[in-house]
């Protein structure tokens, strides 16, 4: 699934769609590079991170939350969207709660993204936890 095309078809402007940064995790002798699919920006501030992967959507939610928090530790996005192309889960990054699940109709329009409160910066204690979660989610343990 081409997420950029998906969002453009829903009225999102090309200039707000970008590739999110790579998160590099180092645990002992293992270095893992985790890349996201798409971020939606407003004035260089991330509003939503979207990820496509085949399979069970809900099984990937926690890893996406960790990625969203680590990719933008000073200014995390308000929302994260996990999809397999048929099912979509919209998550609140601050609380980690799923706020909507269903088809593409759950994706808010761009202007509504600005209504969601942005989470605080990621503190150093939580950063280590998120790094471990993302490592486990991307490597299988």
Task: Locate the domains of the chain by residue range.
Answer: 3-139
Query: How long a stretch of residues is the chain?
Result: 141
CATH of range 3-139; options 3.40.50, 3.90.1570, 2.40.128, 3.30.2000 = 3.90.1570
Task: Give the C-alpha separation, 111 to 123, whole Å.
Answer: 29
- Kindly state the helix (H) or strand (E) to which residue 66 belongs, with its residue range: helix 61-71
With cut-offs at 50, 70 and 90, classify the pLDDT of residue 141.
low
Coil vs helix vs strand at 58: helix
Beta strand spans in the chain (E): 17-18, 23-27, 30-34, 38-42, 45-52, 79-83, 88-92, 98-102
Predicted TM-score (pTM) of the model is 0.95
List pLDDT tens digits, range 10-64. Answer: 999 999 999 999 999 988 778 899 999 999 999 989 999 999 999 999 999 999 9
């Amino acid at each position: 699934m081409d997420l950029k095309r998906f969002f453009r078809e829903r009225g999102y402007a090309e200039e707000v769609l970008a590739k999110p940064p790579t998160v590099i995790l180092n645990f002992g002798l293992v270095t893992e590079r985790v890349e996201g699919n798409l971020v939606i920006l407003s004035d260089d501030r991330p509003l939503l991170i979207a990820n496509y992967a085949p399979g069970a959507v809900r099984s990937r939610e926690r890893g996406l939350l960790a990625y969203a928090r680590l990719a933008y530790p000073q200014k995390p996005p308000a929302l994260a969207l996990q999809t397999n192309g048929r099912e979509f889960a919209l998550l609140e990054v601050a609380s980690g709660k799923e706020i909507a699940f269903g088809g593409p109709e759950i994706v808010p329009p761009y202007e509504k993204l600005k209504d969601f409160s942005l989470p605080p910066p990621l503190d150093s204690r939580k950063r280590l936890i998120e790094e471990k979660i993302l490592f486990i989610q991307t490597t299988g343990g």
